[in-house]
Amino acid sequence: MPVTQPSEQRTASGECRQCRTFCDRMVEPRGCLELRCRYLYSYFDPLSGARYMGCMRKVFRAEIDVSHFEAAERSGGYGGIKMTGDPLPQCQYRVEPAYEGGGPQHECVNPGFFDADSAFDLRDAIA
């Protein structure tokens, strides 16, 4: 029976490490709001006085401080948050490469990682 670290299980759908480019899927919380996704929740934490939002399906596991999110959106955009679970068809995300490089060590051997209607490869935008 293969032994897997819990952190590997959590991030399996959100990252690919099969070549040296190291790609991550980043969910766009702005898309969750724009879609009014039924799995997006928010709550007010009386201890901290902050409001947080998150995904009930744990497509992204982290909870986002709404005031920080809104401030970031006003100044250029919050951006993405690392995907930790399998995306649903409505989830908007992009793939970000961590390391650019040439040669066979950076050639994609897992093109299916980019396959999704809502995904785009950041390398397309900067090429």
Provide the binding-site residues for ligand SF4, judged by CB under 6 A: 27, 32, 35, 37, 39-40, 55, 57, 59-60, 88, 90-91
Q: And the tokens for 73? A: 């959106």
Note the Cα 91 to chain centre separation in Å: 9
Closest among 5, 3, 9, 23 to 84, alpha carbons compared: 9
β-bridge mates for residue 97, sequence order: 23
Residue closer to ligand SF4 by CB (options 21, 84) is: 84
Total count of residues recorded for the chain: 127
The least CB distance from residue 80 to ligand SF4, in Å, is 11
The least CB distance from residue 59 to ligand SF4, in Å, is 4
Compute the distance between CA of residue 65 and CA of residue 95 in angstroms, rounded to an integer. 23
Residue closer to ligand SF4 by CB (options 80, 97) is: 80
Residue closer to ligand SF4 by CB (options 20, 39) is: 39
The least CB distance from residue 30 to ligand SF4, in Å, is 10
